[in-house]
Homo-oligomer: A and B are copies of this chain.
Amino acid sequence: MAGIKDVAAHAGVSVATVSRVLNDSPKVSQEARTKVHAAVEALRYRPNAVARSLRTEATHTLGLIIGDILNPFFAVLARAVEDEARAAGYTVVIGNADERPEQQDHYVRTLLEHRVDGLLICPTAEITPLVEDCVEAGGPLVFLDRTLPGLNVPSVRADGTRAIHELVEHIRDLGHRRIAFISGPELLSTGRERTQAFLDAMRANGLEAREEYVEAGDFQEASGRGIAARFLDLPEPPEVIFAGDNLMALGALDEIRARGLRIPDDVALASFDDVAWFVHVDPPITAIAQPAEELGRRAVRALLERIQHRPVESVVLPARLVIRRSCGETETR
């Protein structure tokens, strides 16, 4: 493949000049400019980003480590991150941690070795030595969707506390009392926060949060199904199942359907995370929607700031309740 030297030879100038026109430095004659462009064209020259990065210490690449690409929430997050990064002239390399700490580590190692200019991480449960190194080394890093306790790293995430309160209130207004919650992993900030918000909301609405009505899953479909099954097997099963993310809601839905139960008459269902197809199931599922695109965009903006060594604040965006029919019809309707 043609290199910059070939271009220089073909154009009859030095490599320095070629480099200058390619980076459109002002100090180059119009004549040289045209000759170089012609040569580039003729030789189908493509600058070698590897060599460039070596010299400039910048790859114009961002790393993004997400929990699970098959989870629609992360898919829209990834999409938004990519769009915003592209607009700023950056390429993003996505790593799929699959919610496994060792795979997350694999990707931070790989991305660090590839010398990405900055790293966006949706941290999995554990705080691994590697990410610790990473923050110590002070490489540009921002957490997305989730945070890790005790680490001084800016984060961009949604807060569902208010929406969860509204949801519990909505459910109570519908006349239900026994609400069960399929929570996320205790180690994940999102898991903890949602559980806490749920418990608070129950109390605030004068509802009893029974211990057997709260169980932690792992944000994957199978765990949602298993936990829903256990809830339903209880001597006094809940009237409502609230799933901590869309995948676990899918699992719960599976289990409810498999038992031939009707929603919301036999058991009602609600979910954290809103996804496109929720409106298409029968009945449409009441859910809490996170501003995923906005989170993605804000995260890369924050990261770019950090890359330029500007201080950045964490950002927290509110999630919002979208009421559909899976918990029952409201009276006014």
Contact = CB atoms under 8 A, between A and B. Distances in A.
Interface in A285-319: none
For A51, A86, A280, the residue with the greatest tally of chain B CB atoms inside 10 Å of its CB is: A280
B113 A48 contact: yes
Copies in the complex: 2
Contact of A280 (B83, B86, B277): B277
A42 interface: no
Q: A-side binding surface: helix, strand, loop or mixed?
A: helix
Q: Please tell me the size bucket of the interface on A.
A: 35 or more
Contacts of A51: 54
Given A1-B137, A282-B282, A106 B86 contact: yes
Contacts of A281: 277, 280-282
Interface stretch (A68-76, A166-174, A202-210, A224-232): A68-76
18 contacts: A1-B137, A44-B133, A48-B115, A49-B115, A50-B59, A54-B54, A69-B78, A70-B75, A82-B96, A91-B110, A91-B114, A94-B94, A250-B276, A250-B280, A253-B280, A277-B281, A281-B281, A281-B282
Given A69-B82, A70-B76, A277-B281, 16 more contacts: A46-B112, A47-B113, A49-B114, A50-B114, A50-B115, A51-B54, A54-B54, A75-B75, A82-B96, A91-B93, A94-B94, A253-B280, A254-B280, A277-B280, A280-B281, A282-B282
